[in-house]
Amino acid sequence: MRSNEGVDRRAGSYHGRRRAMGLAFAWLCGLSTCVGIVALAVLLVDVTLDGAPRLSVDFLSSFASRFPDRAGVKAALAGSVWVVTLTAVIAFPLSVAAAIYLEEYAPKHWTTRAIQTNIANLAGVPSIVYGILGLALFVRALGLDRSVLSGALTLSLLIMPVIIMSAQEAIRAVPSTIRDAAYGLGATRWQVVRHQVIPMALPGILTGTILALSRALGETAPLIMVGAVGFVAFTPGGLSDQFTVLPLQIYSWVSRPQPEFQEIAAAGIIVLLSLLLTMNAAAIVLRNRYQARS
């Protein structure tokens, strides 16, 4: 009897330890999550407190100025919208085409594998390197100068690997049974891709694209390299115009000594974050809509 109790007690303490481990792990994970959320919340509150009083229609519709009261984000907002839109127009079709080629057409041998590995590596190259490439290639060699187009092309190179990889992922997720069914009905490869693969992969492709574009929206370094400047008193009217973008404008304000400009920078950050959150929300809405349909 006694020894039996001993066994039970040992077993009991063992179970107790396992339970405690499980609880501790859950708490640890919960705490880690909190660190991220709390940091984000503090940032948002801080920025909002600093910047909200400065936010107004005037702030959105005024150009940058030496005088804090007259400074606004018009040029930077327009520049960001220009650059990101143009980047989307350039990068999206190229990346999706590349992904479709790699998944549906390319023969699977070592060249394709080498290209694949390269794309994965390119996604990890620091953005400043793309800036230097953009400066040498687009600004100088192609003579595009410090223009919206140079900036958009540079950012396109930067985000293409990301879009290609997420598009490949989405295309690979289309079941092969669907492809078989379509081929079995006498569809050509193009028809299979056009009518089955792309529609099914589209939500995933769009989500990946929008997330990549959000990254492009927040980029500063490569755009400094291709000549975006911190002080622009006009909105771009064409592809060859000079431009600035929100992150750059914010950086230029933050680096000024006057405290008023810190508040203006905070207001600029609110504008940038709103733009980012809108894009991410669009990604979620798009995905849900397409998923509900199929």
Partner 1 sequence: MATVYGIGSSGAAPALEAKAVSVSYGDATAVRDVSLTVPANRVVALIGPSGCGKSTLLRCFNRMNDLVPNARVAGRVDFHGRDLYDHGVDPVEVRRRIGMVFQKPNPFPKSIFDNVAFGPRVNGFHGDLDGVVEASLRQSALWDEVSDRLGDSAYALSGGQQQRLCIARTLAVKPEVVLMDEPASSLDPIATQRIEELIYQLKERYTIVIVTHNMQQAARISDYTAFLYMGELVEYGPTETIFTNPREERTEAYVTGRFG
Segment lying near partner 1 (by CB under 8 A), choices 117-125, 191-199, 203-211, 256-264: 191-199
| Least distance to partner 1, CB of residue 293, Å | 8
101 binds partner 1 (CB under 8 A): no
262 binds partner 1 (CB under 8 A): no
93 binds partner 1 (CB under 8 A): no
How large is the greatest C-alpha to C-alpha distance in the chain, in angstroms?
92
Angle (CA) 280-281-283 rounded to 5° is 65
124 binds partner 1 (CB under 8 A): no
| Least distance to partner 1, CB of residue 287, Å | 15
Q: What is the dihedral of CA 159, 160, 165, 169, to 10 degrees?
A: 100
User: How deeply is 104 buried, as exposed, middle or buried, from its count of CB atoms within 10 A (0-12, 13-18, 19+)?
Assistant: middle
DSSP 3-state percent helix, strand, coil across the chain (nearest 5): 80, 0, 20
172 binds partner 1 (CB under 8 A): no
**Of residues 4 and 177, the one with the C-beta less far from partner 1:** 177
110 binds partner 1 (CB under 8 A): no
Neighbours of 180 (CB within 10 A): 11
The SS3 assignment for 263 reads helix
Residue type, 96: V
The SS3 assignment for 171 reads helix
173 binds partner 1 (CB under 8 A): no
| Least distance to partner 1, CB of residue 168, Å | 17
168 binds partner 1 (CB under 8 A): no
Segment lying near partner 1 (by CB under 8 A), choices 4-12, 65-73, 126-134, 184-192: 184-192
Site size for partner 1, by CB under 8 A? Answer: 21
Segment lying near partner 1 (by CB under 8 A), choices 14-22, 66-74, 149-157, 177-185: 177-185
Q: Which of 3, 5, 30, 108 binds partner 1 (CB under 8 A)?
A: 108
Q: State the distance between the two ends of the chain, measured CA to CA, in whole angstroms.
A: 64
For 228, residues 6+ apart whose C-beta sits below 8 A from its C-beta are 79, 146, 151, 242, 243, 244, 245, 248
| Least distance to partner 1, CB of residue 282, Å | 23
Angstrom distance (rounded) from CA 139 to CA 133: 9
Q: Which of 118, 188, 240, 255 binds partner 1 (CB under 8 A)?
A: 188
Q: Which of 31, 181, 277, 285 binds partner 1 (CB under 8 A)?
A: 181
User: How deeply is 28 buried, as exposed, middle or buried, from its count of CB atoms within 10 A (0-12, 13-18, 19+)?
Assistant: exposed
**Of residues 18 and 195, the one with the C-beta less far from partner 1:** 195
Q: Taking the CA of residue 34 as centre, how many other CA atoms within 13 Å lie in the half-sphere pointing to its CB?
A: 6
| Least distance to partner 1, CB of residue 196, Å | 6
Q: What residues make contact with partner 1 under the rule CB under 8 A?
A: 107-108, 175, 177-188, 191, 195-196, 199-200, 294
